[in-house]
Each structure stands twice: as C-alpha cells, then as structure tokens.
Structure 1
Amino acid sequence: MADSDMTTKPRGLFDRSTKGHVMPTVSVLVERGQIRFFARALGETNPVHFDVGAAKAAGYPDLAAPPSFFMPIEAMADDERARLGQPSLIKLLRCDFGRLLHGDESYSYNGLVYAGDTLNFDTKIIDFYEKKGGLMEFVTIESTVSNEQRGTLITATRTLLHRLG
C-alpha cells in the first residue's frame, strides 16, 4: 500500500449530494390514543394528557400532547412517507446504523399539539461536516411541524453522526 493511501481521509457514508434537499411535506393526524400512550411512557401525570374534560377545563380544544411528542410525530411522518412510497430520511442520507450516533438537538416550541390536529411535517437537510480529521462525519437536519390554522408549532434542529474510525 502506498504512503498516500495510508494518509487518505476515510470516505464518509452519508450521501452528501442531499445537502439542501427538502423532503416532500407529509401530513399526519394526531389521535388521542397516541397522546395517552406517549404520556404514560413518559410518566406524565397531568390529566390534560389523558382526560378530555380536564384538557377542555384547562382551555385546550382536546388532549394536549407533551412537548417531547415531536418524536412520535416524526415516526408517524416516516410511516406516511413509506405508505406513499417515499424514502425515509435515514434511507435518503444512507445512514449506517452500525456507525450511527445521535448528536445534538434543539427544539423551538411555538404552540401545543392537540388530539385531532392534522400536522404537516417538513424536513430539510441543512449541512454536512467532519471532525477528528474525518473520523467523524455529521449531518444537520431541520424539521418543522405545522398546523394550517396555528402555523409552525415545533422547529427541531438535530445532528446525526457516523463514527468512521
């Protein structure tokens, strides 16, 4: 093996040609059972997540989802993409689960999600970069959850990474 071969940076696994790609918007319907199940899994005790009467007494139109409900919304959006024959974000990026790690994440909340909401889910691939001399590659993704009447409810910025070394 030539010396130049030994000093070449590892090739990344992510499909970097997807930078700037905007995935097609998909719509999902939030159901009461989904909110109740997720709230129970989190150990929530606030009745606005379980009892419609309590939610309405608190001024909500129906059960209120916990703020971390973004993850079930994303899973529902992935299911809808599969139903429509569209690739998931993970497939589009060519993620290798044997090397994939979860990096940073941040969320901006502009409104609550309620049972009965039809939500639009949008995702854009923002950027790719490397660290540790190319031994780690990163992708930054931005997703928004919006409702036709109430606008953007959640904006999520997340980073996934592959360990390459």
Structure 2
Amino acid sequence: MSETNQLGKPTGAFIGASWIALGLGMAVYFIGLWNAKMELNEKGFYLTVFLFGLFAAVSLQKAVRDKSEEIPVTPIYLGIAWFALLASLLLLAIGLWNAELLLSEKGFYGIGFAMSLFAVVAVQKNIRDLAAHRAVYPDQHVRPNFLDKPDF
C-alpha cells in the first residue's frame, strides 16, 4: 500500500459519492417540505430540526476526530455535541409521530434526514482527510499552471 493511501486520502469516487448522497438526501427532504400540505410553522420546525441535525452531526464528527488525533476536546463539548445530535433525532421522531401525515410521507422525511446525516459526516471526513493530506504533501496539490493564465 502506498504512503498516500496510508494517510487516508479519500478517492475521488468516494468524495463524489459523499457529495451526491448529501445533495440527494437534502433534495429529498426539501422537496418533501416544499410539497407538504402543512402549516408554514410546521415546515419551519422540520427545516430547523434538519439544519440543527446536520450541524450537530458535523460538530460531533469533528470532536470525535479531534479526540482520536489527540487534539484537546473538552468533555462538556463532546457531551453537548452528542446531546444536540440525539435531540435533533428525538425532535424529528416526535414531530413525525404527532404529524398528520401518511406513513409513507413520514418515512420519506426519516430517510432523507438519515441519509443527509450520514452523508454530511462523510463529506466532513473527506474535507478533513484532504486537508491533512495537503499538509503532508503540499507539492501534490499544486494549482495547475493553465489556471493562472489570463486567457480565460
């Protein structure tokens, strides 16, 4: 195995798949919200829970990664990150349980939410892995010369 792969540089296919999964999950969730026959405040609730969940997942992933790389992470921050993620999941579950939606619509939101949470963690991991790889191998990430020409 090459030294580059040992560093954990993600492949282009995995990076692309992660972004596509995030875009697809968000699109599914937002299309569902757009087409839903519910009050505007309910749509706002589901949008806020979705954004809160994405932020909590990224924050937790960063905290766990920092801790594994022996970067100081306070236990209170790690606890808050876990709490925020679990709170977003619980809020979505309670909201869907009490919503007057078809079971298929509830599943639609749940799958979009779960897919987006998974994908946002993968995207964050890829960004961090690429940054670590660039720090160790800066000469492998040189900007192509043709981009600097004023021909464009």
Higher relative contact order (CA 8 A, sep 6+): 2
TM-score when scaled to structure 2? 0.23
Q: Whose strand proportion is higher, 1 or 2?
A: 1
Q: Whose helix proportion is higher, 1 or 2?
A: 2
TM-score when scaled to structure 1? 0.22
